[in-house]
Amino acid sequence: MVKKLFIYIFIYTLLVGCDTLILNNECESDCFLDVDAPNLQVDVNGYYHMEWLEGYTQTFSTLDANTGSNEIVKVMWDSDSGINYGNYWVSSVNHASYTDNGTAHTVLSAWEEQIGDTLTVYAWYQDECDIEYLDSMKVVIDNEI
């Protein structure tokens, strides 16, 4: 009975997470983090370009964070840019999201005063082995119309 329990625990450990394997108190993981902006154009330098929509207060785009994890993971987001609105700092990204099938999504928003700026967006999370992953991307706010 006890032997079967250990076998079930071992099999469960092999099937969950990012192929997380714990042997002799060592945890191994093949998770990763890759941020992407699938709706934006990327240039030869790896900078993404978001076109400002004239006549709007804000322009939005969706960003993705691919983790390689089969578990639900909380991904944190931040940006080096934003605006002061009513005496409060408002970031250009939502600060947290959860993965679904290994991918988390957030919304990047730009305001008119950011036209011509290059924003840096950061994403990070911690896997089941307490390994921290960090990735970033640069987004240029263009107004070429």
Domain assignment present for residue 46? The answer is yes
Cβ neighbours around 20 below 10 Å, total: 21
Cβ neighbours around 107 below 10 Å, total: 14
pLDDT at position 63 over 60: yes
| CATH code of the domain covering residue 88 | 2.60.40.2410
Exposed/middle/buried for residue 42 (C-beta within 10 Å: 0-12, 13-18, 19+)? middle
Domain assignment present for residue 1? The answer is no
Express each pLDDT in 67-126 by its tens digit: 999 899 999 999 999 999 899 999 999 999 999 999 999 999 999 999 999 999 999 999
Domain assignment present for residue 96? The answer is yes
**How many Å apart are CA 19 and CA 83, to the nearest integer?**
41
Domain assignment present for residue 84? The answer is yes
Return the pLDDT at 37: 98
Domain assignment present for residue 118? The answer is yes
Count the domains in the chain: 1
**pTM tops 0.85, yes or no:** no
Domain assignment present for residue 24? The answer is no
Which two tokens mark 60?
């939005």
Higher pLDDT, 19 or 70: 70
- Give the domain range for residue 103: 31-142
Residues β-bridged to residue 124: 76, 134
Domain assignment present for residue 77? The answer is yes
